[in-house]
Amino acid sequence: MVNGTITTKSDTKITYGDVITFDGIEIDVLESVHVILYKPAGYISSDEDENKYLSYRHLLQDCPYVNMLHVAGRLDHDTE
């Protein structure tokens, strides 16, 4: 349900402040979150790496949205 109305359309617009419920459980709608981060050398700006370098996510461990972030741009392990 969106704001108390049952909807079956996949293109229903949802905005911050709307009340979304599913099976009686209220789902949070988050505002957009933008994080600007200085990535020091020794970390990668990718979510995962086959060489097991530390990811930027290690720098943001206290950020409640860390698992929802996506990188815009990429820097290698040895660049800042």
- Could you confirm whether 28 is annotated as catalytic? no
Q: Using CA atoms, how far apart are residues 26 and 40, in angstroms rounded to an integer? A: 39
In the set 23, 62, 76, 78, the catalytic residue is: 76
Neighbours of 3 (CB within 10 A): 11
Give the up-direction half-sphere exposure of residue 18: CA atoms within 13 A in the CB hemisphere: 16
C-alpha distance from residue 19 to each of 8, 65, 75 (Å): 16, 20, 39
Which residues are tagged catalytic? 76
